[in-house]
Every structure is written in structure tokens, then in C-alpha cells.
Amino acid sequence: MKSHSDVVVIGGGIIGSSIAYRLASEDSSVTVIERDSIGNHASGYALGLLNPTNETSHIESLNHQSFKMHKEMLDIVQEESGVDAQVLTIPHLELALEESELPELKKEIDRINGFSEFNSTWLEPDEIKKLEPRISDDVYGGVLIDEVIILDSYNLTLAIAQAAEARGVEYVLSEATGIIFEKDRAVGVKVGDEQITCDAVVLALGPWSGASSLWLDIDVPIVPQKGEIVRVKGFDPPLEVHIHGFTLGSSCSVVQKTDGATWLAATVQDGSGFDTTPSSEALESLSQRAMRMVPGLESQQLVLQTACMRPIAPDGDPIIGKVPGKEGTFIATGTGGKGILLAPVIGRALTDLITTGETDVDIAEFGLDRFSTD
């Protein structure tokens, strides 16, 4: 490990790696401390869907900005790293599985068509059957969006990390155990028995971000939320549309990825702590929900079931920016189910803040200070 870097990033998931990549592109020297291996948690096991259209809250504009950045960046990081992120551009079909969903879903067409990079149309049940005959007959229609992106989130995280290394970033596989402050300015990070000095520290610990509360003496209110995904054998010929719907009390995606498997995603379970054991309940519920949309899944053999954790803040929004009251200390977490999508824009916002003290990415609402009780 080097004795000094301009910036030390703690956490080598997609968020930490995207920040490191962007900082290195701006000529900062960067060390990433990762206690496990690259992309071994949610960043490596996510569905890998990049769809900025399915969120209407105040995070919508960040989602769209980041989607555009992905499109600009994907070829570059794959080329620089030599890692294939298995990028697939496919249509997205939002199914109306209940008649009561029709009015709200039909309104979506105009909203989505308001974004220049997307085209959306309404499909009647017979048109859905023509598009994909394996979709259930028992649907009321659906919103078709011409193209979203689905990729392999592990490969993408690895591609960004290796592209960052190619630009001089040092990855150290060890645990960060604290930040060294002089007065209230971060000047280094403790790594096992060693330490590295720096001018800025970025906390990108994903669902473990709460552990940094002790280092900062400020509450970082992030908890893990368990999410499971089931992969079954792919269809031949493959499904060529990302299918999504709300059924049996929750949402579900069915998509055949370039690894050949069909992915059924995902569960949302709060209160499980850091447990990542795949459960029979998740297998049952994902299978039932997916088969409601694509009945032929019943005969597809199970390939793999995975569980990992989303980092969640109390209000569900990300935490991005400076740590209040601590100079040279920055945080990026709380990305929930959107961290793969949000990684490029977060990388840019943090790089701007660290290198120039300001950013034109609109992160004003996402500061850690919104949880302050003072």
C-alpha cells in the first residue's frame, strides 16, 4: 500500500469504484480500500437494469443524467479494462395484470415520451401476444418502452475497477478501521495495523455505511435491505423483452440475459440485518410472480439463487456529498435499488466536489445533513 494518496475511497463496490475511476480521470491519485473482493456484494449480484423511467420522485433527473453517462461510458470502460459487461439493449414491457391498473399505466405513455431518449406506446393484449407469445393471455395491456439497458453488474463493476487501475488507482484488499482526523479535517485512513495519509476520504461502504457513524461521531442512518434473485434456464429462442409487472403484492422482473439464464427479480425484505442466505420463501414468491406473467417458466430448471443487500436510508433517497462538520470527508451511499444506474453521476458529483469544492450535479437534497436533529 502506498503511504499517501490524494484521495482514499473506502469500499470497492460500484459506487466506490466509479468515484475512483472518475477521480483518476481528473489526475487525482487514489487508493481504494476493499475488505472483501471487488463486486462481491450488491454491486456484483444486482439485476443490472438501467431504466431511469420508472421513478417519478425528485431522484428522476439524476437517474436520467446517469443513464446518459452510462451510454457515454460503457464502451470506454469495457475497452480500457478488456472486460465485457454483457450489455444488452432491449425493450421494456410494463404489464397491466389487473384491470384497475389501466388508467395509471396509460398515463405513463405521455410522461415517458417527454424524455427525448425514450419512446413509449400502449400495447393491447393481442399486440403483446404478437410481441412475445410466451407472455400470459391473462393481461389487460402494457406500456412498451423502446429500449432500456440490461447488463451484468458484476462485470460492469469489475470493468470500472480495472479501468480505474489502468488509470493509476491502487486497490488494497484490506479492511478500513477508522479515519484519522486532525482537528476536524480528515488526513488519513487506518487500514489494519497500517495507515495511509490523504487529503480527502470517501465513504462508499454500501449497506455497512452505518459503521462509519463511530468514525465520524455523526449518525449515518443506513440499513441493509435484503434482495433475492432467482436464475432459471433460458428459453430457446430467448425472450427479447424485459417484462415487469405488479402481482401478488409486489413487483417482478423477468428477463433473459446474455449469460443465457432468465432472471426473476427481486424480493425486498427489511429487517434481516446482514443475512444473505437465499430462502425458500423468496424462491416460491419470485417463481409465483414470474409465472403469473410468463407461465412457461414453470418448466425451466433452477440455475442459481442469490441474495445481497441494498443500502437504504430512512427516506429511501441516496446520501451524496460532504460530511457536515468534517473537512475533506465525503459520503456516497443509500442508493437502494438504483446504485448500478446512479454510479456514473455519483462518480462525477463526488469528483467535482473533491477537486473543485462544488458541482453542477443537483445533489442539494441528498446531503447527510438532512438527518441532522440540530
Shortest reach from residue 316's CB to ligand FAD, in Å: 12
Q: Is residue 92 within the footprint of ligand FAD (CB under 6 A)?
A: no
Residue 32 in the binding site for ligand FAD (CB under 6 A): no
Q: Is residue 11 close enough to count as binding ligand FAD by CB under 6 A?
A: yes
Residue 244 or 292 with smaller CB distance to ligand FAD = 244
Check binding of 318 to ligand FAD (CB under 6 A).
Answer: no
| Nearer Cβ to ligand FAD (141/269) | 269
Count of residues engaged in binding ligand FAD, rule: CB under 6 A: 42
Tell me which of 206, 321, 328, 347 binds ligand FAD, using CB under 6 A.
206
Residue 294 near ligand FAD by CB under 6 A: no
What distances in angstroms separate CA 238 from CA 132, 163, 179, one per listed residue?
A: 10, 31, 49
- Out of 25, 29, 40, 197, the only residue in the binding site for ligand FAD (CB under 6 A) is 40
Query: Rule CB under 6 A: is residue 331 a binding residue for ligand FAD?
Result: no
Contact 97, 292 (CB under 8 A): yes
Q: Does 142 bind ligand FAD (CB under 6 A)?
A: no
Q: Considering the rule CB under 6 A, would residue 41 count as an interface residue with ligand FAD?
A: yes
Q: What's the CA gap between 243 and 51, in Å, rounded? A: 12
Residue from the set 5, 7, 12, 297 that interacts with ligand FAD by CB under 6 A: 12
320 binds ligand FAD, rule: CB under 6 A: no
Residues 6+ apart with CB under 8 A from 111: 56
CB of 229 to ligand FAD, least distance (A): 5
Contacts of residue 255, Cβ cutoff 8 Å, sequence gap at least 6: 47, 49, 90, 150, 239, 242, 243, 262, 263, 265
Q: Does position 245 bind ligand FAD by CB under 6 A? A: no
- Supply the minimum distance, in Å, between the C-beta of residue 145 and ligand FAD: 15
Q: Does 341 bind ligand FAD (CB under 6 A)?
A: yes
Q: How many CB atoms lie within 10 A of CB 185?
A: 13
205 sits near ligand FAD (criterion: CB under 6 A): yes
Site for ligand FAD (CB under 6 A): which residue of 54, 335, 351, 359?
335
Per CB under 6 A, 49 contacts ligand FAD: yes
According to the binding rule CB under 6 A, does residue 333 interact with ligand FAD? yes
Choice between 15 and 128, CB closer to ligand FAD: 15
- Asked if 310 is part of the footprint of ligand FAD (rule: CB under 6 A), the reply reads yes
What is d(CA 72, CA 79) in angstroms, rounded to the nearest whole number? 12
CB-based contact 16:32 (threshold 8 Å)? yes
